[in-house]
Amino acid sequence: MNYEELIQNMTPEMHQSLQRAVELGKWPDGRKLTQEQREICLRAVIAYDYQKKPAKDRVGFIDRTRPDGTQHGSDPLAPDVIKILKDN
């Protein structure tokens, strides 16, 4: 089974268990996660969220919507415009 198949076959309970392990830094039986295990689990949680959840329910989602429906702040992923001034 490859990584993509693993994510596709992950149950919500497995996802919750991995997410909890990342949050606490230990497995349900109390053993501490290594840094590598924590990174792998976090990647799996993010991949699962991306494939199976709407954006607002994903790990790390920040709601930038104001009560009037406008967006607060700018999109951090939007490119910045650079203006080059020529000094004469």
User: How many degrees, rounded to 5, is the angle at CA 13 between CA 5 and CA 17?
Assistant: 95
**Residue 19 resides in a domain:** yes
Task: Flag whether 83 is in a domain.
Answer: no
Q: What is the pLDDT of residues 3-21, one digit of tens each?
A: 888 888 999 999 999 999 9
CA 11 centroid distance within chain = 17
Tell me, yes or no, whether 86 lies in a domain. no
Q: Which domain holds residue 29?
A: 3-56
Kindly tell me the sign of the dihedral angle through the C-alpha atoms of 49, 39, 22, 30: positive
Is the residue at 68 inside a domain?
A: no
Q: Which residues pair with 65 in a beta bridge?
A: 71
74: in domain: no
pLDDT in tens, 23-79: 999 999 999 999 999 999 999 999 999 988 888 888 888 777 878 877 777 777 778
Is 87 part of a structural domain of the chain? Answer: no
Question: Considering the domain boundaries, does residue 67 fall inside one?
Answer: no
pTM above 0.75, yes or no: no
- Considering its fold, how many domains does the chain have in total? 1
- Does residue 23 lie within any of the structural domains? yes
